[in-house]
Amino acid sequence: MQEDWIKTLGKMTYGIYVLTSYHKEAVNGMIASWVSQISYDPLLIMAAVHPNRYSHQLIEKSGCFALHVIDRQQMEFLARFKGPDPKSKFSSVQWARGKTGCPILSECMAYLECNVIARYTPGNHTLFLGEVVGAQSFSDGTPFASLDYKGVYLGEK
């Protein structure tokens, strides 16, 4: 049975985003795919983050996060946010603090900046429900999706 659901979940498609967070002077970015708009009025976004991720700690402390839409041609840029070292993720990357204090990346198609209004832990990931307080679209293109990436994250970590 488990093999069937793993194969089935592996066929689902997701957007691939860079989620940034901060607390005081600490900043981090991670690749996030379990993301969804859940309301238009008010504009609400949900992002699922595993509790063992450094970003989880920063979001818990600051109460905010930013999601960046990345162009499908930016595989190398996206890859820098895969590792555990926050300093290497942001070296040679242009960014500025947004309204909430979260890092806003210059090399993205668009971003949404969110204040966390609720947290849910229905399973092994925390669902951060964020109200959008800032957004900007910089360029057109084709957003990065799981079809462009090496497999789908199924949450086993």
In 3D space, the residue among 46, 44, 26 whose CA is nearest the CA of residue 36 turns out to be: 46
Q: Does the residue 19 lie in any domain?
A: yes
- pTM (whole model) above 0.75: yes
Domain that holds residue 109: 14-148
In 3D space, the residue among 44, 49, 33, 21 whose CA is nearest the CA of residue 105 turns out to be: 21
Q: What is the largest CA-CA distance in the chain?
A: 47
Q: Does the residue 62 lie in any domain?
A: yes
Supply the pLDDT for residue 146.
Answer: 87
Supply the pLDDT for residue 137.
Answer: 97
Q: Does the residue 123 lie in any domain?
A: yes
- State the CATH number of the domain containing residue 23: 2.30.110.10
Are the C-beta atoms of residues 58 and 21 closer than 8 Å to each other?
yes
Q: Does the residue 156 lie in any domain?
A: no
Q: Does the residue 103 lie in any domain?
A: yes
Residues 6+ apart with CB under 8 A from 42: 131, 132
Q: Does the residue 26 lie in any domain?
A: yes
Structural domain total, the chain: 1
Compute mean pLDDT per 10 residues along the chain, 157 residues long, and list them.
79 92 97 96 98 97 98 93 88 95 97 99 97 97 86 61
Supply the pLDDT for residue 147.
Answer: 84
Q: Does the residue 3 lie in any domain?
A: no
Q: Does the residue 157 lie in any domain?
A: no
Supply the pLDDT for residue 157.
Answer: 45
List, in sequence order, the alpha helices (H) in the chain: 2-9, 54-62, 75-79, 86-90
In 3D space, the residue among 45, 13, 10, 50 whose CA is nearest the CA of residue 30 turns out to be: 50
